[in-house]
Amino acid sequence: MVEKWKLAARRLLSKRILLSHGGGGRETSELIEALIRGLVPIQYWKVEGGTGLDLLDDSSYIPASEGEIAVTIDSYTVDPIIFPGGDIGLLAASGTINDLLMGGAIPLAALDALIVEEGLEVETLAYIINSMVKTLTENNVALIGGDFKVVPKGGVDKIIVSMVGIGRVVKELRDDNVRPGDKIIVSGPIGTHGAAILSARGTYGLKMKIESDVQPLTPLMIPLLENYKESLHAAGDPTRGGLAMLLNEWAKKNGIVVYIDESKIPVKEDVRAYADVIGVDPLVLANEGVAVLAVDWDKAEEILDYIRSLGYKEANIIGEARKPKEERHKGIVVAKTAAGGYRILEAPSGEIVPRIC
């Protein structure tokens, strides 16, 4: 095991952990492959009959005597901890709920773990916990346990929140289930959360009044699972690495080509303007209240109309999955630009936006 550990460490691009290793892009994938999947024996990647490290989806599945259970876990380190449109408590609860929903599960329960820096104001902590609890309870999710730790000043930056989510599976919406012909739908404007956090920090010396899109997607996904589950193949919330990372993962996992039309992708004007000024592609910026869906081609327009009827007025069909014409085309994303040309939309790499969620 020691030799295997050393070999895995050598596979990384750097001998030290960089911010980019936590950015959700290419470096994160390389770290997971080398230091997690590379060290866990393959027979322990999942519970028999379920999914786990083999799929690396938002949720993992565990067989149960009646139906199936989905489990997810995530940690939240966003800076600032209270930002325009939300806070780390709302973010943790929404992110946990959304990861379960993207896996085709109805969220049932959560457990939290809070690590708090000595000296944090009690009023601030109470605000964050209230926001988290309010979000969970409004979405019928029970908080069934947790943990609380305080570390000396400087041990963490204010607060870190980790949360486990448990849900009942309606239908497995798996990243490896996107099929040639599927239409790709986004439920709303992309890049909003990433732009809000960058702006709130005054990154690049520029601040704009941009509010995060952070929200649970329960009002969208539960009706879709109730009415269109047979036509839904995959779902994802494009958080770290944004829409670009999610689509590249779908293309790679399914050996397909994903074609998108950038003119069809909704982006708020303030987000687009901010991204243009700082020189960042909105497609790599994080979202915390948007779903991306792969659906049956012949039901796509009907599903889109239904999504808009639920209040997601800016939802749109942005592209489709296609069978690659050549072997070398497998696993790529092709974007038609606003000017009418085409570009390869690569998975983002580097320090996209550290501590975005």
Contact between 159 and 119 under an 8 Å Cβ cutoff? The reply is no
Residues 136 and 128 sit within 8 Å (Cβ to Cβ): no
Same structural domain, 193 and 245: yes
Q: Which domain holds residue 15?
A: 1-44
CATH of the domain at 282: 3.90.650.10
What is the pLDDT, as a whole number, of residue 93?
A: 96
Res 355: pLDDT: 84
pLDDT at 330: 92
Q: In the prediction, which pLDDT does 14 show? A: 66
Kindly write down the DSSP assignment for every residue of 6-73, as one continuous string: HHHHHHSSSSS--GGGGSSSHHHHHHHIIIIITTS-GGGSS-TTS-STTT--SSEEEE-SSSEEEEEE
Together in a domain, 20 and 158: no
Point out the residues of the chain with pLDDT beneath 50: none
Q: Are residues 248 and 329 in the same domain?
A: yes
Looking at the structure, tell me whether residues 1 and 117 fall in a common domain.
no
Query: What pLDDT sits at residue 163?
Result: 96
Kindly give the interhelix angle for 218-228 and 300-309, rounded to the nearest 10 degrees.
140
In a domain, 356, yes or no: no
Listed residue (171, 193, 183) closest to 315, CA to CA: 183
Give the CATH number, domain containing residue 89. 3.30.1330.10
pLDDT score recorded for residue 44: 84
Q: What is the pLDDT of residues 183-212, one digit of tens each?
A: 999 999 999 999 999 999 987 778 888 999
Q: Tell me: the pLDDT tens digits for 151-189?
A: 999 999 999 999 999 999 999 999 999 999 999 999 999
Q: Does 179 share its domain with 307?
A: yes
Same domain, 240 and 333: yes
pLDDT of residue 204: 74
Q: Is residue 208 part of a domain?
A: yes
Tally of domains within the chain: 3
Give the chain's largest Cα–Cα span: 59
Residue with tokens 């901890």: 81
Could you tell me the pTM of the whole model? 0.86
Residues 185 and 300 reside in one and the same domain: yes
